[in-house]
Structure 1
Amino acid sequence: MLLFLITFAHLLCAAIARPSLNYLENHYGRENESEEVRSAAIKRLLEVFGMDDPPLTRDHKQPPQYMLDLYNTVADVDGVTKDPYLLEGNTVRSFFDKLHSEQVEFRFNLSTVARSEKVLTAELHLFKLRPQTSATFNRHHFCQVSVYQMLDAARFNLTQERKLLSSRLIPVHSTGWEVFTITQAVRSWMADEDSNLGLQVVVRTIGGSQMDMKLIRFASGRNHHQSKQPMLVLFTDDGRRSATPEITDINDSSALPNLPQAGPASRTARSVDYMEEEGVSMHCQRLPLYVDFEEIGWSGWIVSPRGYNAYHCKGTCPFPLGQNMRPTNHATVQSIINALKLVKGIETPCCVPDKLFSINLLYFDEDENVVLKQYNDMVAGSCGCH
């Protein structure tokens, strides 16, 4: 009898200590549901940014200084566009030379560019090195630098194996970046990927004779630092740019005539919660909403910004609507109809964004090219009753 009681007590304790089957099902069910929601949310966010999957996270190289400078020119510290007309199109990509040749021949892999994108401008960026000491007293002060597109003469039954794209005079003793327009070649490569046989750079004297390559040297991908590697910069438009220009001067108080703005986000949240707990209605206003790319898990491939303040609109639109609530005429009429109860079921107007600004992302794509892309309607610039 004693043995039976001891065994029963052990079983009872084990049953109490072990979670019930219903509890386990509910617990893991909620976990699975939460993971499904997160996965669906991330997938939808990727669609907003025009991607199917996030680029693979790896130890990336330093982004080209040109791309960093371009980003800082078109975007503020939060990534918000300074002026929508500063950037040609809405996408800029940089490609490094894939040949790594010591000669002046270059080839770029453009497979990451969608066929639907409109090629606006393509530039070849070459870093001109200082002449070697032994050649500094050469009698030539200028040279003619020409960029050619290599052609498959046999395939297209052509008489020439190359086509001139750009040509100009360059000081022999200068150093730094030289930029050549090669838009024609890139457009033909986009139309026929197999036609991409690369580029060739030829340097001649003003008289047309071959130039001493010790005097005129360009950095190559094989022998020089990454910061000086040959680079193709491509400006395109993917068709997602809005037809209506946006007002983007976010420091202009006239562009953002909101009701009194709150300070830090945490203090704003507490004050809003307090008002709601006390039953005090908050009039329509703009409140912070920070999107942190590290929390989403995207910090491995996004260079800048690390996150941005999207803001959101919250509050009531009570009758009568003052001009400080930035109401549309439709919202004013709706508010009057609601107040007079002239039509059953008519609600008060809603507090929504009435100005939206674009942001810019600088990131590595799946082929480790650095991309600058502009996305419309990402930041609530101001709120109003609509």
Structure 2
Amino acid sequence: MGLYCRTFVLIRVPAPIDKVRKTGRTRNNIRDQRSVRGTHSVSPALLCVSVTLKFPPLSFVMDFLRACVLLAALFGLVKAFTHQDMKDALLQKLGLDEVPRIHKRDVENLVIPAHIRNKYMTMLKMHHSRRRRSLPSLAGILKGIPGNADISGEYVYSDTTRQRVMFDMEARIPDNSEVTMAELKLYQRASHHKRFTVERKSHRPVNNARVSIYWVEVLPNGSNRTSLVDSRLIPIHETGWKSFDVTQAVHYWSKTQQKTPMHLEVWIEGERPGSYAAEMAKSVRFTTQQQTDNTLGKPELVLYTLNLEEYGSRGDCDNQNKDTCCREEYFINFRALTWTQYWIIEPAGYQAFRCTGGCKQPKRNFGYGERRCTVSESAPLPIMYLVKKGDYTEIEVAEFPNMIVERCACTLDNISIV
């Protein structure tokens, strides 16, 4: 017959183990998601296991011990990833152990290659396009009429290839609203230079110039830092209004410098490297205050706003539901963080959002822990950054996943329950 013994064993089982087994997520995915969501405490459950042993049950005992070791190892892994933040996520994405040692002098005379800038702008425009498609019936919601400026700008200075425009933004953005798009309109006037009818034989024809728009951050010490917000080619010998997307600049200003006017810089450059293309680009002229009638053709800023009370995204926090699980604004300023102010070139910052509020709890949770308000959908963010390779510093562009919270939901054992 043999001898039988019934034993009860208590095992601490962390709830996230089920998540790893059910979803098949890798350690890297867990780390990325937790870096965005923030830290959450893990409530391990006590699992009571009834084991009936027949002596000598040596093989069963060995299997049982191996299972215990595996559970302990898994619990250690889950716990290790609990307190990661965005810094760890960025480093992991880049395959780095520590933040690159970038100093202020490394970026003061930094020249961004045209192909890097174009790659970043392409990714940024795709990012804006995805964001706008997620808005409800955008065409019927946007406020503002093209050509009828909300805000008129004033030129701070102007020369052949550089112009700075200032906009008084005080009380321009309504309360409880979001700027979904901002459009800078510049009037391109006829060039006073003699038009080249015959191109030089030694040069390829040049028909366009590159116009880039930068947001200017005025620092407390009086110096400035710029951030690229739009860049595109425009025909050299045209006349009329040219529009640029400066949504990102308005978002920067609204989160960092609301008490001061917003400054934008206009850079006019050749469509390709070389002195001939740069010389041809000087044919592009925008209306300045030196015009006889400085009302006609002054720079204009058109704001398209969304009333959040009427059209707020599903699950966004407001005065009625701020205590329950919702998504609230959370702006991350890369220029204000000591470890990103020189390492991250673009963007200067971004609206990351975050999940906040409580969730209703079931009367019985069967040891799975509390339902928590966590990220259920996220979006990537294009970033231009510096990376050191030996003695050289290079500029690279990549899209980093899980940087923007799109939607929050109450979860139980990381299973979304809306």
Q: Calculate the TM-score normalised by the size of structure 1.
A: 0.36
Give the structure with the larger strand fraction. 2
Bigger relative CO (Cα 8 Å, ≥ 6 apart): 1
TM value normalised by structure 2: 0.33
Q: From the CA coordinates, give the structure whose radius of gyration is larger.
A: 1
